[in-house]
Amino acid sequence: MNKFVIEFVNRRTKQARQFVIKELIAEKAIGGQEELRRELRKRGFAVTQATLSRDLQDLGVSRLSFGDGAKYVLQPTAEANVLKPVVWREVLTITASESVIAVRTLPGCASSVGEFLDMLNNPDIIGTVAGDNTLLVVPRSQKKTRHVVKFLREKLVEGK
């Protein structure tokens, strides 16, 4: 974390706590509120179950089932819902190696497809890097590559 983020988090405000919640959900597979409360406590935020429930609701966090169990995810933004009907038409192929996935798009479309994927907040995706017609998707681990490819096919090829 950079100095600004550390100072922000150290203030222990509601905004700082919610920032840390989003960061935890993006970094780890958190399966329940008690696990999230423990992680928050490690970072200096002692919260009640009621406060945590309100924070999760404020942030639009849902608990979804994946192949390896349930975990919290941030819900797609309104912008993602607007892009959804468009981006799947821009994708040509999805090819995976052990640790990276290449999404080939129509010329000039890789960044919009990448932005759409980033908005979906999939905890199994660390990030995306877009060129002109190629988007690299980085899974959280090699074990997650197959799950991420399935997710990409559902969201980008099948238009779901």
Mean pLDDT, range 52-70, rounded to an integer: 81
pLDDT for 30 beyond 90:
no
Q: Which CATH architecture has domain 78-157?
A: 2-Layer Sandwich (3.30)
pTM, two decimals, is 0.57
Domain ranges of the chain: 3-74, 78-157
Neighbours of 40 (CB within 10 A): 19
36/39 Cα distance (integer angstroms): 5
CATH of domain 3-74: 1.10.10.10
Give the per-residue pLDDT at 29. Answer: 80
12 phi-psi bin (left φ>0, alpha ψ -120 to 50, beta other): left
Topology agreement, domain 3-74 and domain 78-157: no
Half-sphere exposure of 39 (CA within 13 A, CB side): 20
* Tokens at 73, concatenated: 């995810």
Give the per-residue pLDDT at 100. Answer: 96
Neighbours of 134 (CB within 10 A): 17
123/28 Cα distance (integer angstroms): 7
Going through the chain in order, the beta strands assigned E by DSSP cover 61-66, 69-74, 91-96, 101-105, 125-130, 134-139
